[in-house]
Structure 1
């Protein structure tokens, strides 16, 4: 008798996070201390508090120190400056939204680039969109990427959507991906990162569709954005072998009849954007990514500490070399 069960593989974020945690633990062994992450909570948003508590729990379970500072939003600017100047603080995370307007963007730029674990500083954002992957000319210090978009990339790497036979930076060449959500926090950065890695990305928002790509044969160094007048999900979904959705609403569901059979489906919304029937059509389904996002946050913090220690070692070496008397020839 034929087995009529769906052939979809459901992949849980916890299983993906384990491999990333092992990488973080190996890096921590070389530091020999607990990096301190300070979180700032200045809103009554219950989701922000849950994220803060989740961050603290994950930090404490994995060899990091965490301190939550609850600050009135009008005092947050000064509190961030104080944390920037505190040598004991390795990383800073702010739980947004706070003012829910452009003032939040201003606060993002106050956090020191040397402590910005979320990758929201201007230099990091500039590098991300310009496809600049390193902070130094020698290409030894990787730029920090925003946590949720990077978590999605790590999931795609785990699922082997990235083709490791191809050169680094081109490993999504040949992939067509739809990202449903174009927020400045997740959707647009994610579309840019995927396109910079070689994918053809359809970025779908409530009003329109844009195509992010690096041109035919990936001839362009960074992605460009092309408007798709008149396009909707009906045009994008049937073309896409990966569909990533993050619509923040409990009413929204990705229309399954438009999905390409065997598509890989990933949900990064706090709500389920895919109905249970997605397993009848998808080949792989990732229902949530939160646990990967938290581990990526720790990974970013570790990288910031590593960059700091390397800079200190380099500075000490230069000072030592300068102090050595030059022998006259």
Structure 2
């Protein structure tokens, strides 16, 4: 790893320990009391190294939290369709994740919509996308059964919102923000945000989520002129890039001072280590950060939180009310 300015890194490991771990443990306790064993199915559709690595990470986090994990494979569209339908009807299966993009001659959205909304752990079914557009959070009138949001986009928003809570708590205790900042840097309302990716799982979902937080969002994709992308970057408070190409780089000269950056691309979309001199906080390229403190560690935890949302639909209202009170105490506590 390069010699990076560690004080500029998001402390994702801390967020997981403070917020996610106790809530996961509470979920597991409730499920055991109700004799429910969570099970997640992961279907590989190719031998793509990124997909294989992601599946390995999912297997690891499932083992950590006592979740049954089954890795299956479907290297043609007919078999994938068959397996999705099988697991949709399998009572022991609570969640299904398909490794996209598929290499088949049919749009991935066909398979996304084929996965039952009762088992769609990624939230890519058109029903969940519709709820995201409408800014809905729950599937029931009692606001106990949560809807599913794509885990990568959810993880990024989660990092920002949890840091916002931590900075507000600091302000309450000290009468000022850390580093003597005039305002909370993680407040999203009114902020200028550029998202360089338009996939359903990342860019489009994240843009909708940021709009729902009253931010001003620009979405760039492969048809956006490079010079225009740099203009948007240069005026943005928050920059999120997930371009799967070694050729795409954002020169550090375009990065605004004290901006917030998320580099989601496996290849890395920023200039290292120079970018550290410009940012306030950054989640950099995955191999520049210790395992456990990477943005994909947060993605994995949001995937598992989605699985718990799906499993919890089988619990009674009293158990879910208990869980909701527990979560509220975690989020408002110090």
| Helix, strand or coil at the partner of 2:31 | coil
Counterparts of 2:165 and 2:263, CA distance in 1: 16
Q: Is 2:207 the partner of 1:201?
A: no
Counterparts of 1:77 and 1:311, CA distance in 2: 34
Q: Is 2:63 the partner of 1:55?
A: no
Q: Is 2:252 the partner of 1:256?
A: yes
What is the CA distance between 1:244 and its match in structure 2?
1.0
What is the aligned partner in structure 2 of residue 215 from structure 1?
A: none
What is the CA distance between 1:26 and its match in structure 2?
1.8
Counterparts of 1:282 and 1:26, CA distance in 2: 36
TM-score by length of 1: 0.79
What is the aligned partner in structure 1 of residue 191 from structure 2?
A: 175
| Helix, strand or coil at the partner of 2:109 | helix
Q: Note the alpha carbon deviations across 1:272-326, whole angstroms, 9 max, x for none.
A: 2122211111111111411111111110001111112238999xxxxxxxxxxxx
Q: Is 2:22 the partner of 1:16?
A: no
Alignment of 1:22-61 (within 5 A): 22-32=22-32, 33-61=36-64
* Alpha-carbon contact 2:124-2:200 (below 8 Å) kept: no
Q: Is 2:278 the partner of 1:285?
A: no
Counterparts of 1:48 and 1:62, CA distance in 2: 21
Report the CA distance shift for 1:243/1:162 in structure 2 as closer, same or farther (over 3 A): farther
* Alpha-carbon contact 1:175-1:199 (below 8 Å) kept: yes
* Alpha-carbon contact 2:218-2:232 (below 8 Å) kept: yes
Q: Is 2:118 the partner of 1:109?
A: no
Report the CA distance shift for 1:112/1:175 in structure 2 as closer, same or farther (over 3 A): same
Report the CA distance shift for 1:174/1:72 in structure 2 as closer, same or farther (over 3 A): closer
Report the CA distance shift for 1:42/1:309 in structure 2 as closer, same or farther (over 3 A): same
* Alpha-carbon contact 1:8-1:282 (below 8 Å) kept: no
Report the CA distance shift for 1:285/1:7 in structure 2 as closer, same or farther (over 3 A): same
The equivalent position to 1:297 in structure 2, one of 278, 297, 303, is 303
What is the CA distance between 1:99 and its match in structure 2?
3.1
What is the CA distance between 1:86 and its match in structure 2?
1.0
What is the aligned partner in structure 1 of residue 264 from structure 2?
A: 268
Gaps in structure 2 of 5+ consecutive residues: 170-186, 287-294, 321-334
Alignment of 1:202-241 (within 5 A): 202-208=218-224, 232-241=228-237
* Alpha-carbon contact 1:42-1:76 (below 8 Å) kept: yes
What is the aligned partner in structure 2 of residue 130 from structure 1?
A: 134
Counterparts of 1:79 and 1:305, CA distance in 2: 20
Counterparts of 1:284 and 1:232, CA distance in 2: 24
What is the aligned partner in structure 1 of residue 177 from structure 2?
A: none
Gaps in structure 1 of 5+ consecutive residues: 166-170, 210-229, 315-329
Report the CA distance shift for 1:176/1:161 in structure 2 as closer, same or farther (over 3 A): farther
User: Size of the alignment, in residue pairs?
Assistant: 285
Report the CA distance shift for 1:71/1:234 in structure 2 as closer, same or farther (over 3 A): closer
* Alpha-carbon contact 1:111-1:121 (below 8 Å) kept: yes
* Alpha-carbon contact 1:7-1:279 (below 8 Å) kept: no
Counterparts of 1:293 and 1:80, CA distance in 2: 23
Q: Note the alpha carbon deviations across 1:67-117, whole angstroms, 9 max, x for none.
A: 111234231111111111111111111111223554321111111111111
What is the aligned partner in structure 1 of residue 289 from structure 2?
A: none
Report the CA distance shift for 1:203/1:103 in structure 2 as closer, same or farther (over 3 A): closer
* Alpha-carbon contact 1:84-1:112 (below 8 Å) kept: yes
What is the aligned partner in structure 1 of residue 144 from structure 2?
A: 140
Q: Is 2:305 the partner of 1:306?
A: no
Moved over 6 A (4+): 161-165, 311-314
Report the CA distance shift for 1:36/1:264 in structure 2 as closer, same or farther (over 3 A): same
TM-score by length of 2: 0.78
Q: Note the alpha carbon deviations across 1:165-203, whole angstroms, 9 max, x for none.
A: 9xxxxx621211111112233111111111111111121
Query: Which one has the bigger helix percentage?
Result: 2
